[in-house]
Amino acid sequence: MDIATVVGVLAGFALIIGAILSGGSLKIFVNVPSLLIVVGGMLCSVLIHFSLGQFLAIFAVIKNAFFHKAHSPVILIQQMVNFAAINRRDGALALEQEMRKVDDPFLVKGLQALVDGQEEDDIRALMGMETEYMQARHGDGKKILEFMGASAPAFGMVGTLIGLVQMLQNMSSPDDIGQGMATALLTTFYGALLANLVFIPMAGKLGQYSKSETLAMEMITEGVCAIVRGDSPTVVREKMQAFVSASKRADVKVTI
């Protein structure tokens, strides 16, 4: 679980609720019609803009913003250095034993291609295609959240217009004027809150996750290809250290 995302969302809502309670009752900020206009309208627009499959994947996309298993570049480099040492000492077939200890499907696929004796160009093409499709999937999820972040305030404005029309048509009744104004203002509030505290930040977080995962997959690709070429563990380490900052490079050791 990404602690920063959880803390950010909870702290943001706590801050808003605290500000409301400091000046009055939370009850006056609860308006079901306003919420239906914003949330319902936003979901309908998503359903129109995207396919049914993409719409049904909304919850999975939001889940990915909270739960993400990050790869450690230093650990990845150390793994590839160790695999290079095993390959040089015992041959490619010895890596089959090591594959059982790996829980990354992408790394397993690369090692399996290596063990099968595929050429470097074929391995690079295979793993490059996998990376591109991963980026496309993540890009679709990010686009959904960005669209939700854009449509929520728009439907907040729609609710505001509805509330103003209701208010202007009932100027003779003070109660109806108050209800119309509540709908008008609260829909704008709901739309702005959901967009700027939930959907847009989550889209940005998914973008960061995608960059991190792309980097990890590129590191794995380069490491596997270096092993295929028969590079020594030291050479593999030196090449892959280009992916990390200088302060972390000393953590990677060559073990043969």
Q: What is the DSSP letter of 37?
A: I
DSSP conformational letter for 100: T
218-246 b/e with 16+ CB inside 10 Å = b?
ebbbbbbbbbbeebbbeebbbbbbebbee
Q: What is the pTM of this model?
A: 0.80
> How far is the C-alpha of 51 from the C-alpha of 55, rounded, in Å?
6
pLDDT-flagged residues of the chain (< 70): 1, 173-180, 247-256
Q: What is the pLDDT of residue 255?
A: 53
pLDDT on residue 252? 58
Question: Rounded CA gap, 57 and 53, in Å?
Answer: 6
Taking the CA atoms of 74, 79, 82 and 88 in sequence, report the sign of the dihedral they define.
negative
**In whole angstroms, what is the distance from residue 182 CA to residue 177 CA?**
9
Distance CA 220, CA 192 (A): 41
Count CA within 13 A, CB hemisphere, residue 104. Answer: 18
So what's the pLDDT on residue 148? 94
For the record, the structure tokens of 36 come out as: 């239906």
Number of H helices, E strands in the chain: 13, 0
